[in-house]
Structure 1
């Protein structure tokens, strides 16, 4: 099959979440059929409610700066499934994706014909096996694996990872993982295997106790990071929220780290990555202080406070005060995309917007119906001068009627049937000195990234932008 045929076939296996089957027996049997590709190289695994993708990207960047050939497996993708699988920082080519995925689909079909498994592996299982297979072919030195959902029964957890990283654990996917923080923590802590090393972000005490208990059962002591807040000191901040900080790990001091990713919350993720890198050094990996700092300063992680422009040039302040653009944003408002999709993520985004938003703020919001939409709305909607509700073409996507009920009482709220129309309205409503924030779902962020070139071409983002916004303000509200 070619790439498009392969992707169509994978999508027809069912929705990544709705059709998921949280048992490892089938993927384990498939990996045996493929001669255990995940065991051809060492791996580290990362789970958590928020921050796990950012930490995975940071670890990959640090390891590449150290001269290692890395495999990086993440989910979900924003535009193309190829985004999930990277070697040396580069996405798998569509032809290679089709080749590996087709061979894995053929292996699944053989197993069904022979009665070894009763049903086809899921979309996520197939793509995970595709990543494992590609990493083996590419002879990576080390693979960085981000858990898709939970941990214990996630396909990524079939790898014998010697280092496990847990980022912040909070409420999400309660119908699958459990209704209490303790239950959710137990599912995620299960990525920590006997004799492995565990690096853990700061957690609520209830969560930390579950992690300690699990680690004790596995015969190891977890390394909790940032036990003392004075280990971090912030030095600089830009107008768009990029932080420069220093950190003392107890092992050494890392000075003047200019974080590439925006937001204060990325400091915690960076510290987790630093301490995980120190653990890798104990395993003999040649990771220098310079590689760690450069990795954090060059990491790229789309869809997390990602900017589509509008900030203008930035000025760094040495006294720690907020900097301001040296030149104005000339053509359109600041546009920020953030995949916050649960209350903890929404609260992190709220803190960012409270410090760095420009006014007026237009919020473009859409979410999956199984999320805590009301809690996310309570965190974010009061900050916005106008809220534009929309939905993506996904069967999990919340209907506009549900979003409208949640948004009742929050002022200027508009409904749009398509993401493209939502962005058009946002650009027409928001003056050049304002900000547009797209959030609520990574699927929404991906849809915006896909349609953005079309929106730019049709709206006409130019010096007449302010006149367009005045015209749009007189349009009918829903």
Structure 2
């Protein structure tokens, strides 16, 4: 089985995330019985590594990335399981923050395929697993065989019946809760909180982010019933001192003298606007007489947007440069610091220096990520009103007074109206588009929701939307790409920031559940 065949196999099952496969129009049947049986056939790999388990409506991926970076900085061998991926399925399962090789991935999928056949023979009543369940089994098998010291595992949906909820972690974590996936998890915060709290284990430890009082009551009740200790993250452990702006740090923005230099590159402008070329054949030129923007790949780390924070780590206060921007990321960092305290109390060898080094080294693509410094292009996967509010706050915090243009693409399960209500007050121009994702929303539907509120242009795809946006920008303007991680991912591709891409596949068929 080669890599393309391995991917084709995984996607031949029901994929609720992409809305592909037989039966996806029916209500999903969530159960832990199927993943449990599959893992038993594989030798219970989920019982052979230590872990941190992270649920939440937003912030769980960023919190997972911070923790993994800290653990790796301490010299531990780490596993990281997250979803969705941006460019290649292999991003979902990482060892020491490196995605699996195509060869390792294919080998593991081959073994899982054999286990699935046994599952069908021994438990025909359970039906076929889903793509997500197979990916989870793959991750756990990989972590066990790689002998990781600690795996950081992100919940996919909810918590109680999520396929990851078969592990017994050292710490359970719940980040911020908001109304999302209400058709599955419930239409109130308390209902959603009950599903998230399902990851709390008997006699375990729960670390949670600040949340509304009714959500916290659910957490406390669950912990009391299960004899678990509950720890609230303290936001005051991470306070912003300053923010950085790559346009101010880097010389070379287009200016009246038509030329400035940075790192040996000259950038010229005669018009004061960014000139875009035909999309997807090459990157749109940033200025007249120039060949390409100064993309993030060409910049040293210190030129990325960041915030300088005073953090209290293991009882010591230190100043760190934190590349995940915004107040919400400071909250996520405070959650990670609380988890570190628990792990150290349990005997894990983590030092203050390692914690700070890990914080400074963390990168999490698609989350207020700089794609280009000149012109200034930011990508953020915000796709809920709460996440969009965080993006709005971060944009105004880092780029006050700037004119903001926005490329926006959403998925069909999102009502664009509430997203636009949050975002439109701070943007000057909107370009709506559709990603390649099967569940992407028609851009004209988004445009209807924005009608009369801000100048709006409809584009066919993310590449064309970027070209339109960059053509309209002034030299001091900001272009923000948002609405879904899939739109952010395609923007990264346009700017040459995708290290690898999965091969094209025929995803028209899937097995019945």
Q: Which TM-score band (shorter chain)?
A: 0.7 to 0.9
Aligned residue among 233, 243, 253 for 1:237: 243
Normalised by the length of structure 1, the TM-score is 0.86
1:68 and 2:131 matched? no
Answer whether contact 1:178 1:184 (CA < 8 A) is retained: yes
Paired position in structure 1 for 2:336: 273
Counterparts of 1:451 and 1:232, CA distance in 2? 34
The question of 1:435 aligning with 2:441 is answered: no
Q: Any idea what SS the aligned residue of 2:35 has?
A: helix
- Equivalent of 1:216 in 206, 219, 224: 224
Is 1:149 matched up with 2:213? Answer: no
Measured in 1, the distance between the counterparts of 2:390 and 2:213 equals 20
Residue pair 1:254, 1:289 contacting (<8 A) in 2 also: no
Partner of 1:98: 106
Q: Report deviation, 1:256.
A: 0.5
Return 5+ residue gaps in structure 1 as ranges. Answer: 311-331, 456-478
User: How many angstroms does 1:100 deviate by?
Assistant: 0.4
In structure 2, the CA distance between the partners of 1:8 and 1:393, relative to structure 1 (3 Å rule), is same
User: 1:367: which partner in 2?
Assistant: 410
* Equivalent position of 2:15 in the other structure: 15
In the other structure, the counterpart of 1:394 is 437
In structure 2, C-alpha distance between the alignment counterparts of 1:256 and 1:343, rounded to whole Å: 32
Per-residue deviation, 1:116:
4.0
Deviations 1:8-57 (A, max 9, x none): 22223233334454211111111111011111111110011111001100
1:128 is displaced (CA, Å) by 0.9
Aligned to 1:413: 456
Aligned twin of 1:354: 396
Query: Quick check: 1:26–1:117 contact (8 Å CA) kept in 2?
Result: no
Question: For the structure 1 residues 117 and 394, does the alpha-carbon distance in structure 2 shift closer, same or farther, using more than 3 Å as the test?
Answer: farther
Pair 1:89–1:231, CA change in 2 (3 A): closer
Alignment of 1:177-188 (within 5 A): 177-188=185-196
The count of aligned residue pairs is 431
Q: In 2, distance between residues paired with 1:118 and 1:22?
A: 11
Displacement of 1:93:
0.7
Structure 1 residue ranges, 4+ long, deviating more than 6 angstroms after superposition: none
Equivalents in 2 of 1:39, 1:454: separation in Å? Answer: 36
Q: CA deviation at 1:248?
A: 4.0
Q: 1:246 aligns with which of 310, 316, 328?
A: 310
Q: 2: CA distance between counterparts of 1:436 and 1:197?
A: 42
Q: Distance in 1 between matches of 2:239 and 2:474?
A: 36
d(CA) in 1 for partners of 2:224, 2:330: 28
**Cα deviation 1:220-276 (Å, max 9, x = unaligned):** 2310012xx655443232126522222347x61331122121222211111111110
Do structure 1's residue 166 and structure 2's residue 174 form an aligned pair? yes
Instruction: Quote the Cα distance in structure 2 between the aligned partners of 1:245 and 1:167.
Output: 20
8 A Cα contact 1:82 1:92, kept in partner: yes
Consecutive unaligned residues in structure 2, runs of 5 or more: 247-304, 499-513
TM-score by length of 2: 0.81
Inter-partner Cα distance in structure 1 for 2:82 and 2:184 = 20
Pair 1:444–1:15, CA change in 2 (3 A)? farther
CA distance in 2, matches of 1:442, 1:388: 17
Which protein has greater RCO, CA pairs closer than 8 Å, 6+ apart? 2
Tell me how far apart the structure 2 counterparts of residues 12 and 393 of structure 1 sit (CA, whole Å): 19
Deviation for aligned residue 1:386:
1.1
State how far apart, in whole Å, the 2-side matches of 1:58 and 1:233 are. 16
Which residue pairs with 1:317 in the alignment? none
Distance 2:370 2:33 in 1: 41
Q: Which residue of 2 aligns with 1:318?
A: none
Kindly report the root-mean-square deviation, in angstroms, between the aligned alpha carbons of the 2 structures: 1.8
